[in-house]
Amino acid sequence: MKTLYVEGNTLLHRLSARVKLAALAMASMLLFVADSPVLLAPAAIAAAALYGTLGLGWRNSWQRLRAILLTIVIVSAFMLVINDPGAAATGFFRLTALAFFAATITATTSTGDFIATISSAARPLERTGLGRAADIGLAIGLVIRFVPDVLGRYQAIRDAHRARGLKPSALTLGVPLIILTLRNADEIAAAIDARGIRGQNWDKDQR
């Protein structure tokens, strides 16, 4: 199975997940407070440079970020149509900076560290009875963990279409992708339940 995490021993790898997530939250707030391309463009360049320190190379970086960057371009083009160029540039640089910052944190933080940190942060919700912290951490960790697999399935389905001389479309790509993803989700849920991961801490608390 693929993963977004990249093995390494850089300073970012050694920082705790809590510090990195707090820094990402702070950076996100500052990016949305800033409302000028003059301020956001350097932030986007700095975020891209920070991501570049991971040493993934242009090809690997493009493969990992292609979907989100193309989405940002489409959103920015739409903003250019309905707004002025300044607003479109602001949105483009803001989203690009946020994407690179988030990708850097994801690439330098293991899924286990994500789950542990989010579970710890969600403990106040558990005390109020709104949900189990472990389940919240597990759910978010699984989302992060299986994003590369969903993208891999999409590429495999698209390549299969092209190999058969079929023209890919949203319908012919989306339907099999959804079916395969839901099937895999059922298998993962069954494996989790078979191991008694969900609800075991809850059951102990109720005794």
Are the CB atoms for 198 and 192 separated by under 8 Å?
yes
Handedness of CA 4, 57, 7, 159 (dihedral sign): positive
Type of residue at 87: A
Q: Identify the pLDDT of residue 27.
A: 92
Q: Identify the pLDDT of residue 42.
A: 95
Q: Identify the pLDDT of residue 162.
A: 82
* Nearest by Cα to 31 from 82, 106, 107, 90: 90
Alpha carbon distance, N-terminus to C-terminus of the chain: 38
Handedness of CA 182, 188, 191, 192 (dihedral sign): negative
Are the CB atoms for 50 and 100 separated by under 8 Å?
yes
* Nearest by Cα to 132 from 194, 188, 206: 206
Q: Identify the pLDDT of residue 177.
A: 79
CA dihedral 119, 124, 126, 132 (to 10 degrees): -20
Give me the tens of pLDDT residue by residue for the chain, a chain 207 residues long: 456 778 888 888 888 888 998 999 999 999 999 888 999 999 999 999 999 988 888 888 888 888 888 889 998 999 888 888 888 999 999 999 999 999 999 889 887 787 788 777 777 766 776 667 677 666 776 676 666 677 777 778 888 888 888 787 777 778 887 887 777 777 766 766 666 655 544 444 434
Rounded Cα gap, residues 92 and 99, in angstroms: 10
- 121 CB contacts (<8 Å, ≥6 apart)? 18
Handedness of CA 193, 199, 200, 201 (dihedral sign): positive
The pTM for the full model equals 0.67
Q: Identify the pLDDT of residue 110.
A: 83
Q: What are phi and psi of 74, to 5 degrees?
A: -65, -45
| Cβ neighbours of 147 (radius 10 Å) | 16
